[in-house]
């Protein structure tokens, strides 16, 4: 299965302090909450002093066998490893493409935002650091 990391600093809106990873899979957009990323965002350079584990995308390294994939890099992974990674996390949002009826993508000076509405009426807003490469991928995959 192919997955792409779009951001390792994605929140669930302006009022959300919880950071996570934003992934694209073959059939869904997936936001995975990662407390270590929140600590890195809040503590900045001091994060390395807190256990030494907060400065990189450790789950990404374990997941893909890479130190850290480049944004939008296509990664080949065994489905069992991917689903095990998702199952081990508490804060996971999965947006299957087939259930997305509306997606609005905006790029600001420092952030990008994606508002999604699913068939069941659920709305979500995702924010992450602006990335032209991620913007190209989002526009090619979602109906924005």
CATH code for position 76: 2.30.29.30
In 5-78, where does DSSP find H-type helix?
Answer: 35-43, 58-64
Q: What is the pLDDT of residues 38-84, one digit of tens each?
A: 556 666 655 444 443 433 444 554 454 444 667 778 889 999 999 99
Q: Count of domains in the chain? A: 1
- Percentage of the chain modeled with pLDDT above 70: 76
Range of the domain at 20: 2-141
User: What pLDDT score does 9 carry?
Assistant: 86
Nearest to 95 by CA among 143, 30, 21, 32: 30
């Amino acid at each position: 299965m192919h997955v792409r990391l779009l951001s390792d600093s994605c929140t669930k809106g302006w009022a959300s302090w919880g950071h996570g990873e934003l992934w694209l899979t073959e059939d869904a957009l997936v936001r995975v909450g990662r407390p270590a990323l929140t600590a890195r965002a809040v503590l900045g350079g001091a994060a390395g002093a807190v256990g030494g584990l907060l400065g990189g995308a450790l789950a990404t390294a374990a997941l893909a066998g890479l130190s850290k994939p480049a944004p939008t890099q296509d990664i080949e992974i065994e489905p069992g490893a991917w689903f095990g990674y998702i199952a081990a996390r508490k804060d996971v949002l999965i947006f299957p493409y087939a259930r997305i009826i509306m997606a609005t993508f905006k790029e600001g000076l420092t952030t990008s935002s994606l508002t999604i509405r699913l068939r069941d009426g659920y709305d979500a807003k995702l924010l992450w650091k602006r990335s032209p490469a991620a913007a190209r991928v989002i526009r090619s995959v979602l109906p924005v």
